[in-house]
Amino acid sequence: MDKAVEELDQAQAQVELARLAQVLAAANAAYHTLDAPEMSDAEYDALKRRNAAIEALFPALKRADSPSDQVGGAVASGFGKVAHRVRMLSLENAFADSDVSDFDERVKKFLGIAQVSYTAEPKIDGLSLNLRYENGILVQAATRGDGEVGEDVTINARTISDIPQNVPAAPALLEVRGEVYMSHADFADLNARQVARGDKPFANPRNAAAGSLRQLDASITADRPLRFFAYAWGAISQPLGATQLASIEAFKHMGFQVNPLTALCHTTADLLAQYRKIEALRATLGYDIDGVVYKVNDLTLQERLGFRSTTPRWAIAHKFPAELAWTRLLAIDIQVGRTGALSPVARLAPVTVGGVVVSNATLHNEDYIAGRDSKGAVIRDGKDIRIGDWVQVYRAGDVIPKVADIDLSQRSDAAQPYEFPTLCPECGSPAHREDGDSVRRCTGGLICPAQGVERLKHFVSRGAFDIEGLGAKQIEMFFADPDLPVKQPADIFTLALRDDANPFKKLKNRDGFGEKSATNLFAAIEARRSIPLDRVIFSLGIRHVGEVAAGVIARHYTTWPAFEAAVRVAEPGNPAWEDLLSADGVGAVLAQSLIDAFKNPAERAAIEALAAQLTILPVQARANIASDIAGKTLVFTGTLEKMTRAEAKARAEALGAKVAGSVSAKTDLVIAGPGAGSKAKDAERLGVALIDEDAWIALAGLS
């Protein structure tokens, strides 16, 4: 008999996870690859649930090859998944010169020092890759994926000549990060070959590089010349140097390609000069770059600056201005999103912008079309946008193209101002604008089919339920299906039962489905029946509750019953409300939105129906935080002399603590510098522990 999950200690959990990974992988292989199942579905599901429950209790033990990440036929058909040991982050963007000086000011203010040096280097327009070397041997290459989990492309990466297989000078563990890209010359060659073969050419070198790296057949990758620049690192057993520049230099000595335009800068003026220099050379480089990346050079300072949720505080990408093109606006369509927002979309005569053919662009909202920004201020000199106008479109990075300007001299006399609909084009319900909101929203809620289908698409999206084989396309099909309808999330989990009950119209006999794909779909749905709390909260698609907020809320309440009970009773000002707001990053707007969703009878019923179908797994406080102050509430008072308040707060939060503004019975620790007044007295009165700055520095692991 298996031991109950709650009774396992850490070592036993690790052994059990290894066993389950092996058993489930064998069962998967028998099922998908050999098509010869060796255990019943119920047994298989029970093992999978056991695995997920152990992972929820010991998140740090989750394996890179965890069965939870391998749904349905994915193992046999796609790439293996790799959980990154150190998250792969993105960068904040700067556009104007003033954004760069603001960044420098922010860094100096955070650190409380007068001058900081930076490296400046080209931002390569390719895709990032993590290369793992153990004892100098390349053992794994993984794409960025969602930053937490990427795809295993080791075999393909081995075909890239810029990537050394052996690095004798490497420390025992070295993860090198950098960009895979394709040169302009190789791109032109490849596209010529594609066309000659009757295949579709790639839109740009970035797409060509991505398509080439993510080939299941590595011989195709080998046939397409890819290159690699090293510019960062992940997990390492030993520092590469004391500075960013020294670390890059170390990469060079190890045999990696590093960008020759990397320079050390000491002032904002230096940074901007390097930016202008790189921008001037851009057309001659022979590969695509889309900006210049600035990084704090001193690694001790990088460490002190740390991270926000998805970006480091110590780096920024200064983007080149977007490419522009003129074309004709053919029509304006209104799309209704998951939260009911009416979004105007420009349908354009196709035009090439920065190597990509654009035929749609966002027009943001009705104010933007009328020539006003979200605060009511005049934009484009007040020129409104009319159907038939010549419009200027631009693309910045991967984002949706936008309309920047219009050419009044080309406007026909017959052109009429655009009238934004006040009724939802999908369900006919009134569409309202709230005070101070530039977005008009359909008030139809769950009766609006557009909102319904968009919510379901969100429900199955990557950070939410992420059900293999159930994407946007299948959701649209099931939503409109008279025999096997899916109108709300709970319906997904009754699909198999309903299909069983309907012998004449089986899913497996329909177009686009067969025995295997229908079985796989039901298995993929079943595999998600037990799911961690954070994913459930995110999946509900509540306005203002994104993935990061959902994680924060889940870690705050840890279980579904606790979360649900709290949200049900919370009202502005009461203790449940105050408790919700004490979660890091949860503000009044988000809290109210959450409460409203649970108050609305129809939404509530949908949420309850869903919860009844699921085993919602508890979520623990962040696994990688094993500090003495994790989970504690801290108050800083008086003057800190060795770090700024901002740094102290960020450091405390990174260690899993909460920082509060005033001392109460809930406070665990007060850090008092010189000049501490009433807060130190409050601490004494309430018997809360009080320490000085030196003791704090030691506690924070900085001494």
For ligand IVH, the binding residue among 103, 231, 577, 636 (CB under 6 A) is 231
Closer residue to ligand IVH in complex, CB, 162/481: 162
Beta bridge partners of 531: 616
Which is nearer to ligand IVH, 231 or 368 (by Cβ)? Answer: 231
User: Smallest distance, Å, CB 272 to ligand IVH?
Assistant: 17
Q: DSSP states of 415-457 as a string?
A: -------SB-TTT--BEEE-TT---EEES-GGG-HHHHHHHHH
DSSP letter string over 314-381?
A: TEEEEEPPPEEEEEEEEEEEEEE-TT-BEEEEEEEEEEEETTEEEEEEE--SHHHHHTB-TTS-B-GG
Nearest to 68 by CA among 530, 388, 475: 530
Binding residues for ligand IVH restricted to 432-451, rule: CB under 6 A: none
> What are residue 337's phi and psi, to 5 degrees?
-90, -175
256 belongs to the binding site for ligand IVH (CB under 6 A): no
Q: How far is the CB of 621 from ligand IVH (least distance, A)?
A: 24
Output the smallest distance, CB 534 to ligand IVH, in A.
Answer: 23
Residue 89 binding ligand IVH, by CB under 6 A: yes
Phi, then psi, of 571 in degrees rounded to 5: -140, 145
- Going by C-alpha positions, the residue among 79, 356, 358, 89 that lies closest to residue 205 is 356
Nearest distance from residue 597's CB to ligand IVH, in Å?
A: 33
Three-state SS sequence of 550-583: HHHHHHHHCCHHHHHHHHHHCCCCCHHHHHHHCC
**Which one of residues 164, 312, 340, 452 is an interface residue with ligand IVH (CB under 6 A)?**
312
Q: Report if residue 175 touches ligand IVH, rule: CB under 6 A.
A: no
Residues 177-216 close enough to bind ligand IVH by CB under 6 A: 179
Q: Does 90 bind ligand IVH (CB under 6 A)?
A: yes
Indicate which residues carry an active-site annotation: 123
124 lies in the site for ligand IVH, by CB under 6 A: yes
Among 226, 317, 424, 427, binds ligand IVH (CB under 6 A): 317
Alpha-carbon distances, residue 24 vs 29, 37, 151, 166, 418 (angstroms): 8, 11, 20, 33, 58
Of 48-56, 311-319, 469-477, 688-696, the window that binds ligand IVH (rule: CB under 6 A) is 311-319
Stretch that binds ligand IVH, among 74-82, 89-97, 417-425, 599-607 (CB under 6 A): 89-97
Q: Is 320 in the site for ligand IVH (CB under 6 A)?
A: no
CB of 150 to ligand IVH, least distance (A): 11
Nearer to ligand IVH, 110 or 563 (CB): 110
Structure letter (DSSP) for residue 6: G
- To ligand IVH, the closest distance from the beta carbon of 89 in angstroms equals 4
How far is the C-alpha of 551 from the C-alpha of 170, rounded, in Å? 36
How far apart CA 591 and CA 174 sit, in angstroms, is 43
Query: Quick one: 229 or 493, whose CB is closer to ligand IVH?
Result: 229
Q: How far is CA 575 from the centre of its chain?
A: 32
Assess contact for 314 and 659: CB atoms under 8 A.
no
Q: Does 315 bind ligand IVH (CB under 6 A)?
A: yes
Q: Which is nearer to ligand IVH, 286 or 471 (CB)?
A: 286
Which span sits near ligand IVH by CB under 6 A: 83-91, 104-112, 203-211, 636-644? 83-91
Q: Which is nearer to ligand IVH, 89 or 222 (CB)?
A: 89
Q: What is the largest CA-CA distance in the chain?
A: 82
What would the 3-class secondary structure string for 161-190 be?
A: CCCCCECCCCCCEEEEEEEEECCHHHHHHH
User: Which strand ranges, in their side-by-side order, compose the sheet holding 633-637?
Assistant: 658-659, 633-637, 669-672, 689-691
Determine the Cα–Cα distance for residues 14 and 20; give it in Å rounded to an integer: 10
Q: Let me know: does 503 contact 510? Beta carbons within 8 Å.
A: no
Of residues 32, 48, 81, 123, which one binds ligand IVH by CB under 6 A?
Answer: 123
Q: Is 243 in the site for ligand IVH (CB under 6 A)?
A: no
- 8 A C-beta contact, residue 643 and residue 696: no
Distance CA 653, CA 585 (A): 11
* Backbone torsions φ then ψ of 394, nearest 5 degrees: -140, 155
Could you tell me the smallest distance in angstroms from the CB atom of residue 209 to ligand IVH? 11
As a whole number of angstroms, the distance between CA 670 and CA 696 comes to 10
Q: Is the dihedral of CA 386, 388, 394, 398 positive or negative?
A: positive
Kindly state the smallest distance separating residue 1's Cβ from ligand IVH, in Å: 47
Closest residue to ligand IVH, judged by C-beta, is 128
Where does this chain touch ligand IVH (CB under 6 A) — which range of 208-216, 310-318, 600-608, 679-687?
Answer: 310-318
Q: Which is nearer to ligand IVH, 308 or 473 (CB)?
A: 308
The two structure tokens encoding residue 426: 């999908």
Work out how close the CB of 122 gets to ligand IVH at its nearest, in angstroms, rounded to a whole number: 6
Which CB, 230 or 518, lies closer to ligand IVH? 230
Work out how close the CB of 430 gets to ligand IVH at its nearest, in angstroms, rounded to a whole number: 41
Can residue 131 be called a binding residue for ligand IVH (CB under 6 A)? no
Q: Judged by CB, which is closer to ligand IVH: 318, or 441?
A: 318
Distance (Å, whole) CA 527 – CA 445: 30
Which range of residues in 88-96, 446-454, 532-540, 558-566 is near ligand IVH by CB under 6 A? Answer: 88-96
Judged by CB under 6 A, the stretch of 123-131, 444-452, 540-548, 580-588 that binds ligand IVH is: 123-131
Number of CB atoms found within 10 A of residue 602's CB? 11
Stretch that binds ligand IVH, among 182-190, 312-320, 416-424, 645-653 (CB under 6 A): 312-320
Choice between 289 and 670, CB closer to ligand IVH:
289
Between residues 127 and 670, which has the closer beta carbon with respect to ligand IVH? 127
Q: How far is the CB of 110 from ligand IVH (least distance, A)?
A: 17
Binding mask 267-306 for ligand IVH (x = CB under 6 A): --------------------------x-------------
Select the residue interacting with ligand IVH from 51, 119, 128, 667 (CB under 6 A). Answer: 128
Q: Which residues, numbered 140-159, are part of the site for ligand IVH (CB under 6 A)?
A: 144
Q: What is the C-alpha to C-alpha distance for residues 340 and 361, in angstroms, rounded to an integer? A: 19
Starting at the edge strand found earlier in the chain, the sheet holding 173-181 runs 137-143, 127-134, 173-181, 227-236
Residue (130 or 539) nearer to ligand IVH, CB: 130
| Least distance CB 127 / ligand IVH (angstroms) | 6
Q: Which helix (H) or strand (E) holds 290?
A: strand 289-296
- Torsion-angle region of 86 (φ positive above 0: left; ψ -120 to 50: alpha; else: beta): beta
Q: Binding residue for ligand IVH (CB under 6 A) from 55, 65, 104, 121?
A: 121
DSSP characters for 574-625?
Answer: SHHHHHHHTSTT--HHHHHHHHHHHHSHHHHHHHHHHHHH-EEEP--S-TT-
91 forms part of the interface with ligand IVH (CB under 6 A):
yes
Residues interacting with ligand IVH, by CB under 6 A?
89-91, 121, 123-124, 128, 144, 179, 231-232, 293, 312, 315, 317
